Amino acid sequence: MKQKFSKKQAVEEIQKRYKKAEDLLKDDSKMEPFLEKIEKKIKWIPFLGQEFKSIPILISMVRSYWKKDYTKVPKKTILAIISALIYFLSPIDVIPDWIPFLGQMDDALVIATCWNWVNKDIEDYRQWKKQMKEQTLN
């Protein structure tokens, strides 16, 4: 029987991981290894759909927030991103990653759902990064 993964389920999966995301955000010894694992995982995905191409900016935003370089973002946005990344990293989720193609579909929907939630904050972060880059060039 084929299981359909919905946007509602994606929201639930993100919300279920908020506590774990908050704990991770508070643990300096675990945050960087977590982000590095995600960076390694995206290198192994055979096709990078639009949802997965957004992961590096999400990682960058979390890293900047965690290092306190960029804090003009609601904590709930960072928790949503980390929660979605926890889901993405987990090999055993609603549709296990070892199932070709389908195993990545639920991950993509969770990332896309998170992106839609926090899109405005991501755009603000991109503007900030651009300004920082311009300041270092001048």
- Give the residue-averaged pLDDT of 67-78: 95
Q: Report the range out of 51-55, 90-94, 107-111 with the highest average pLDDT.
A: 107-111
Q: Name the pLDDT band for 49 (thresholds 50, 70, 90).
A: low
pLDDT number for residue 94: 65
Q: Name the pLDDT band for 119 (thresholds 50, 70, 90).
A: very high
Residue 8 has pLDDT above 80, yes or no: yes
- Short-list 83, 87, 114, CA closest to 21: 83
Q: How many residues does the chain have?
A: 138
CB 75 within 8 A of CB 98: no
CA dihedral 5, 10, 13, 14 (to 10 degrees): 160
Residue 95 has pLDDT above 90, yes or no: no
CA distance 115 to 58: 9
**Which residue type occupies 54?**
S
pLDDT number for residue 100: 66
| Per-chain mean pLDDT for the chain | 86
